[in-house]
Amino acid sequence: MDKRDLASEIKKANREVYNSITPEKYNLNESIFNDGRKKACGAILDKAIQNSGNERFLDIGTGTGNLLRLSCDKFKFCAGCDISENLMAKVKIEFPKAHLLASDAENLPFTDSKFNCVSCYALLHHLLDHEKLFKECYRILGNGGTLYTDHDPNYYFNRFYHVYYRIKFSGKHGFSSATEDLAEYHNVFSPGIDPEHLRKLLLDMGFRKVDVVYRITDNRNMGLVKNCFLAFLRLAVKIIPVRSFHTHFAIIAVK
């Protein structure tokens, strides 16, 4: 299968998975929905407003509206889009003032320079490549606008963790089914995403400032062994602050 066909199959898998999921099940993901994440994301959005203004905000791959819950009280106009039309219909009642629609992240139905801030939270690992997405983000951001991505697997950590993952799930599915595995492409089939490559891609595209923020998952409910390992990582990064000790990364880019 060539890259174009694979990218298309990954999108189809995501649409199938998230069209069938309930908001209640989606919101059980403690690595996304926890107080630490809420506080950290809110602080980043506040900084984006300071730098770029609070007129118009778009959350791409919005899911059940994780960032919309934070942004609707911060921005004058909020929009969210997701490949799952069913999920958008289900969560619309929670966000009566937001503009929600089903859309392909690589072909957004918005005019140029429309938004002050665009977010892609837990989205990048659902796409094979990221150039088309970032070009769309660049296009719809106004001058001085902020792009915020977060909660994607850090290659520098995952290149090691992925060896363990492949052994643990050899001959079985890590995410319940072949379709879910494909939808979680960079969590299953690749050693994560290289944020330094993305930083260069964004700079070459025209973003004037790109910061990569490495972090360790906030999820404190992963079982005794994993919790102990994560506690070790949190201690280790205070002594040796290397990117290979961080499970996830965020990107804040200014156009």
Tokens of 24: 């209640």
Domain ranges of the chain: 3-254
Mode of pairing for the β-strands spanning 99-102 and 115-121 = unpaired
SS3 39: helix
Instruction: Determine the length of the chain.
Output: 255
pLDDT averaged over every residue in the chain: 95
Cα of 201 vs its chain's centroid, Å: 17
Q: Which helix (H) or strand (E) holds 47?
A: helix 35-52
Q: Per residue in 104-157, pLDDT tens?
A: 999 999 999 999 999 999 999 999 999 999 999 999 999 999 999 999 999 999
Tokens of 90: 């289900």
Does the model's pTM come out above 0.85?
A: yes
CATH architecture for segment(s) 3-254: 3-Layer(aba) Sandwich (3.40)
